Amino acid sequence: MAQTPRRPRTQQDARSEAEAAFKQTTTRPVEEPVAKPAVPGVRELVSLRIGQDVLEHFQQDGPGWQDRINDALRKVAGK
């Protein structure tokens, strides 16, 4: 069987093939973020900006104001 003649490679063909090969070897596959296992009752440290008047309202009853804010947020969230 006779092979069909190949068309001559152009510089553009070679460049496109080289760029495709480079991109394939340098591109990292997208990895799904690892989900942390949820442990019931564990609290997470966050930074939250709230109004001074809101902070004073929760602090006026003394210690435990962070728990009171957490309870109020949980109630509003329907939990």
- Quick: pLDDT tens for 45-68: 889 899 999 999 999 999 999 999
Render pLDDT for 10-21 as a digit per residue (tens, 0 to 9).
667 788 888 888
Between residues 22 and 28, the one the model is more confident about: 22
Q: What b/e readout covers 24-63, taking b as 16+ CB neighbours within 10 angstroms? A: eeeeeeeeeeeeeeeeeeeeeeeeeeeeeeeeeebeeeee
Q: Is residue 77 part of a domain?
A: yes
d(CA 13, CA 54): 66
Instruction: Examine residue 60 and state whether it is found in any structural domain, yes or no.
Output: yes
Tokens of 57: 């309202």
Look at residue 76 and tell me if it is in a domain.
yes
Say if 59 falls within a structural domain.
Answer: yes
Give per-residue pLDDT as tens, 33-43. 877 777 777 88
